[in-house]
Amino acid sequence: MSHATLSAPGSLSCFELGEQMLSVEQARTALATLIEAPLGHERLNLAQAHGRRLAEAIHAPINVPQNTNAAMDGIALAWPRQVTKRS
């Protein structure tokens, strides 16, 4: 099976490849051309983190829930909506 070559940097169209496949290294190179710059990171309180993505994995210091079974299928969290004052 032959490997495809991309026609232009930043081009990553499945239609351009036909039935050919990229090697892993070609795919990595092609994906890297789509990234403008590494994203920065910052520390935030949990309440300010809505809509953000983690910069690194986090692990709970304890099992949650601590029991091996739960009385429900899952656990839901609800955040209070921010109330804006009207003038």
What are the sequence ranges of the domains in the chain?
1-38
How do residues 57-73 score in pLDDT, each as one tens digit?
888 888 776 777 666 67
Q: How far apart are CA 72 and CA 9, in angstroms?
A: 51
Strand-pair partners of 3: 21
> With contact defined as beta carbons under 8 Å apart, do 50 and 79 qualify?
yes
How do residues 4-57 score in pLDDT, each as one tens digit?
454 454 556 767 767 778 889 988 888 888 887 777 889 999 899 898 888 888
CB atoms within 10 A of CB 29: 13
